[in-house]
Amino acid sequence: MSYSLTVNGKQVTVDAGAIDMPLLWVLRDVIGLTGTKFGCGAGLCGACSVLMGGERFFSCQAPARAFIGQPVTTIEGLRDDPLGKRLQDAWVEADVVQCGYCQPGQLIAAAALLKANPAPDDEAIEAGMSGNLCRCGTYPRIRKAVKLAAAGGKA
């Protein structure tokens, strides 16, 4: 028995032995998409964030089975979405990145935020982005980059 997942617009077959594994490990260890990061394994840090539809999920907390029949977007697919590209470019423009390890999750969270609220104020940014930890402390620039992307991406 095998199952089909839709990841970044592509059909991926996952066998019965892996379908009850958290999506994070299916992505990283089975499919080989390592852009989605392992940080805490407990839904505390947000590094493993993926989009299902427009919504953000912690992929370390939900079995792959929960994503059957739903379009999953990981960081590797974010650039194919105009909003995703705008966010990634804003991240570069605002010089957000340091070690970069949490940033895939930050970007997924930001994409979910802007899909739900295209013009978030400070409070909405705090609500949308405080589920993701950054040990390097890039938060001030994440704020800037989210605003930059929301404003259309112009510097």
Partner 1 sequence: MSGGATGLSRRGVLRGSAALGLALVVPLGRASGAKAATLTANAFLSVTAEGAALALPKTEMGQGVFTTLAMLVAEELGLAPAQVAVTIPEGDSARFAPIDQGTGGSSSVRELYKPLRQAAANARAALVGAAARQWGIPPERCDLVGGVVIETKGGRRLPVGDLLAAASAAPLPKDAPLRPSSALRVIGKPTRRLDSLAKVTGETVYGIDVRLPGMKVAMLAQCPMFGGTLATFDEKAARTTPGVVQLVKGSDVLFVVAETYWAAMQGYIAANPQWSAPKGPADHAHILAGLDEALAKPGFEAKSTGDVAAAKARAARPFSATYRQPFLAHAPMEPGSCTAHVTPEGCTIWAGSQVPAQARDDAAKALGLPADKVTFHNCQMGGGFGRRLETDMVVRAVELARQVPYPIKLMWSREEDMKHDMYRPAYADQITAALDAGGKPIGWEHRIAGSSIMARLLGQGFTGVDADAIEGAVAIPYALDAHRVTFQQAESAVPTSWWRGVGGLRSAFVVESFIDELAHAAGQDPLAYRLSLVTDARIRAVLERAGREAGWGKPLPAGLGRGIAVLQLWGTVIALVLEARVADGAITVPRATVAVDCGLAINPLGVAAQVESGVIFGLSAALHGEVTIKGGRVEQSNYHDYRILRLNEAPAIATHIVESAADPGGMGEPPCAVVAPALANAVFAASGKRLRTLPLAMALERVS
* Interface with partner 1 in residues 19-78 (CB under 8 A): 21-22, 25, 28-30, 32-42, 44-45, 47, 74-76, 78
Q: Which H or E run contains 123?
A: helix 122-129
User: 10: which strand partners?
Assistant: 7
For partner 1, the binding residue among 54, 61, 62, 139 (CB under 8 A) is: 139
Q: Using CA atoms, how far apart are residues 66 and 44, in angstroms rounded to an integer?
A: 20
Nearer to partner 1, 55 or 122 (CB): 122
**Contact pattern from residue 78 through residue 117 relative to partner 1, giving x for each residue in contact according to CB under 8 A and a dash for the rest:** xx--------x--xxx-xxxxxxxxxx--x----------
CB 81 within 8 A of CB 14: no
Which span (48-56, 65-73, 111-119, 126-134) binds partner 1, by CB under 8 A? Answer: 126-134
Please tell me what DSSP assigns to residue 18. T
For partner 1, the binding residue among 56, 86, 132, 149 (CB under 8 A) is: 132
Q: 2-7 and 10-15: which strand pairing?
A: antiparallel
Residues in contact with partner 1, total (CB under 8 A)?
A: 60
Q: CA angle at residue 85 from 83 to 88, to 5 degrees?
A: 110
Nearer to partner 1, 32 or 69 (CB): 32
